Amino acid sequence: MPALAVKSLYKIFGSRTDEAMRRLASGAPRAEALAGLPATAAVIDANFEVRPGEIFVVMGLSGSGKSTLIRMLNGLLRPTRGSVQVDGVELTTLKPAALRKLRREKISMVFQHFALMPHRTVLENAGYALEVAGLPKAERRERALDALRMVGLEEWADNLPHDLSGGMRQRVGLARALAAGTDILLMDEAFSALDPLIRREIQDQLLELQAELGKTIIFITHDLNEAMRLGDRIAVMRDGRIVQIGTAEEILTDPANGYVAQFVADVDRTRILTAASVMEKPHHVLDVNAGPRVAAKALRESQTSVVYVTGPMKRFLGTVTEDEVLRALREGHPNLDGYVSTERVRTVTADTAVADLFADCAESQHPVAVLDDRGRLAGVIPRITLLSALASATPESVAAVEKAAIPAQPDVELVAAKGEPA
C-alpha cells in the first residue's frame, strides 16, 4: 500500500468551481479554460502515489500550485474535489477532530520560513508536537532533545530561535517534525530561504537522516538541482498540472514535453546521468574458458583490438588483446586463463555519475567496463560515447528537441524569443 495516494485532486479558489472544473476537464491550459470565470485553479487533476520510505519531490515554478498541493496532503486546505489517502485513510472527508489526530500521528510538516514560535525556546519548539499530543513534560523534553541531537543542535536547546542562524532555525524546524515521530514528512520549500552553501549542507544532512530513519518525504521545491539531488522520484508541475513523474534520470533523458525539456536544459547532466545511462552493449565478450582461436576470430570479425573476458557467474575478469591471444595460440593454451589482463581497462560501477567518468576514460586504454552490483559486465563506455553523451547535454540539442515539439506547444513565443539572433 502506498504511504500516500492522491487521485484526481483539484483545488479551485473563487466561485463557480463546478463550471471551472467542467472546463478544465478537457485538458486545456488553465488560463484559456478559465478566461472570464471568477475562479483560479491552483491544482488540476493531480494523481500520484508515494511509496513508503521514498523522497518524492514536487517541483515547479512559483504559481504552479505546488504549495497548494502540499497543504491538501495534511488537510490545511480542503480540496475542491478528489481524494487524498494517507495509509489508506481517506483524508478529505475526515471530521476536524479526526483530521487533527491524523496530523498528530501520521504527518508532520516543515515550512519555508521555518515557522518557529519566537516566544518559545528551541527545546519548546522542537517538542511542540509532543505538547500538542499531551505527553508529560519529562518525556517531551527527552524526545525533543533526541531530535535536536539528530540535527546537531542539542546545546542550543535553551536559546530562543532568534539566537540561531537561518540554517540552524530550519534544523530546529526539521527537529520539530522529527520529534513528532510521524512516518510522513511534508517539506514545503524547506531549504529555499537558505543561502546556497547552507542549503547544500542541510540537504546532505537530510539525506543522511533519511538513510537512517527511512521516512516518507514529500518535498516541494522550485530548484531543479535540489529536486534532482534529493528526489527518488520527481513530479514536475506546471500551471496547476503535474506534467511528468519520474526519476531524475528519466526526466533528463526523456522529458515528457518541451516545457520539461526546457526546464532541465540548465541542469549539469554529468552529475545526474550515470554510467548505466550512457554505456553501450559490449559486443565482444568471451568466457574465460573460450579457446584462443575463438578469441582471434572475435577480434578479426569485430575489427577491434580487445575482447572482454568474464569468469564464473559472468563476473568480469579483464581483457585480452591481440598480443595475448597470439601468445596463447603460440603456447597452445586451451583457453584464455592466465592471459587476461586487468591493466588496460578501468572499471566503474553502474551508478557512477558521468562527471566522475572522465579520469577513468582518459586513463583506460580501451573502453571503460561498467560493472553491476554483482561484478558482472553490464556495458562499456568508449571515449567517443562519453563525448557524444556530453554533446547531447548541450543547450543546442535541447533546443532541437523543443523545435521538434513546438507545433503542439503553447511555448512558441518563449522559444522564438530565445532563438532570435542577437
Partner 1 sequence: MSIAQSPLDSWLPRLPLGTWTESAVDWATRTLGPVFDAVATVVDTLVRPLENLLTGVPAVVVVLVLAGLGWWLRGWKFGLGTAVGLGLVAGMPYWEETMSTLAQVLVASLLALLLAIPLGVFIAENRRASAVARPVLDLMQTLPAFVYLIPAIFFFGIGTVPGVLATLVFSMPPGVRLTELGLRQVDKEIVQAAESFGAPPWMVLLRTKVPLALPTIMTGVNQVIMLALSMVVIAGMVGAGGLGDVIMFALSQVEVGSGFEGGIAVVVLAVVLDRLTDSVGDRFPSARAQRLARQAA
Of the candidate residues 113, 271, 376, 383, the single one contacting partner 1 (CB under 8 A): 113
Among 95, 162, 281, 330, binds partner 1 (CB under 8 A): 162
Choice between 100 and 293, CB closer to partner 1: 100
User: Does position 295 bind partner 1 by CB under 8 A?
Assistant: no
**Residue 150 binding partner 1, by CB under 8 A:** no
Which one of 22, 51, 101, 315 is in contact with partner 1 (CB under 8 A)? 101
**Contacts (CB under 8 A) with partner 1, residues 198-217:** none
Site for partner 1 in 52-81 (CB under 8 A): 71, 74, 76
Query: Which residue number, 162 or 281, has a Cβ lying nearer to partner 1?
Result: 162
Binder of partner 1 out of 7, 104, 222, 344 (CB under 8 A): 104
Q: Minimum Å distance from CB 75 to partner 1?
A: 9
**Which of 22, 51, 78, 100: binder of partner 1 (CB under 8 A)?**
100
**129 sits near partner 1 (criterion: CB under 8 A):** yes
The smaller minimum CB distance to partner 1, of residues 76 and 353, is found at: 76
- Interacting residues with partner 1 between 306 and 365 (CB under 8 A): none
Nearer to partner 1, 133 or 329 (CB): 133
Q: How far is the CB of 170 from partner 1 (least distance, A)?
A: 12
SS3 of the chain: the string is: CCCEEEEEEEEEEECCHHHHHHHHCCCCCHHHHCCCCCEEEEEEEEEEEECCCCEEEEECCCCCCHHHHHHHHCCCCCCCEEEEEECCEECCCCCHHHHHHHHHHCEEEECCCCCCCCCCCHHHHHCHHHHHHCCCHHHHHHHHHHHHHHCCCHHHCCCCHHHCCHHHHHHHHHHHHHHCCCCEEEEECCCCCCCHHHHHHHHHHHHHHHHHHCCEEEEEECCHHHHHHHCCEEEEEECCEEEEEECHHHHHHCCCCHHHHHHHHHCCHHHHCEHHHHCECCCCEEECCCCHHHHHHHHHHHCCCEEEEECHHHEEEEEEEHHHHHHHHHCCCCCCCCCCECCCCCEEECCCEHHHCHHHHHHCCCCEEEECCCCEEEEEECHHHHHHHHHCCCHHHHHHHHHHHHHHCCCHHHHHHHHCCC
Q: Is the CB of 109 or the CB of 307 nearer to partner 1?
A: 109
Q: Counting contacts by CB under 8 A, is residue 111 touching partner 1?
A: yes
The reply to whether 283 sits near partner 1 by the rule CB under 8 A is: no
Of the ranges 3-11, 99-107, 215-223, 377-385, which one interacts with partner 1 (CB under 8 A)? 99-107
Burial class (CB in 10 A: 0-12, 13-18, 19+), 155: exposed
The yes or no reply on residue 119 touching partner 1 (CB under 8 A) is yes
In whole angstroms, give the CA distance from residue 356 to residue 362.
Answer: 11
Q: Say how many residues make up the chain.
A: 422
Rounded Cα distance, 156 and 152, in Å: 9
Distance (Å, whole) CA 331 – CA 318: 20
State in angstroms the smallest separation of the CB of 78 from partner 1.
13
**Taking the CB of residue 79, how many other CB atoms lie within 10 A of it?**
23
Binding residue (CB under 8 A) for partner 1 from 39, 42, 50, 109: 109
Least Å from the CB of residue 118 to partner 1: 4
| Segment interacting with partner 1 (CB under 8 A) among 42-50, 155-163, 260-268, 313-321 | 155-163
Rounded to whole angstroms, the Cα distance separating 66 from 85 reads: 18
Minimum CB separation of residue 279 from partner 1 in Å reads 45
Q: Which is nearer to partner 1, 64 or 108 (CB)?
A: 108
- Whether residue 46 contacts residue 6, with contact meaning beta carbons closer than 8 Å, is answered with yes
Does position 222 bind partner 1 by CB under 8 A? no
Q: Which stretch binds partner 1 (CB under 8 A): 160-168, 213-221, 231-239, 318-326?
A: 160-168
Residue whose CB is less far from partner 1, 190 or 299? 190
CB atoms within 10 A of CB 122: 27
Residue 118 contacts partner 1 per CB under 8 A: yes
Nearest approach, Cβ of residue 153 and partner 1 (Å)? 18
Task: Please identify which residue in 31, 61, 117, 384 interacts with partner 1, judged by CB under 8 A.
Answer: 117
Residue 160 found at the interface with partner 1 (CB under 8 A): yes
The amino acid sitting at 150 is: M
Residues that bind partner 1 (CB under 8 A): 71, 74, 76, 97, 100-104, 107-109, 111-113, 115-119, 128-129, 132-133, 160-162, 176, 180, 186
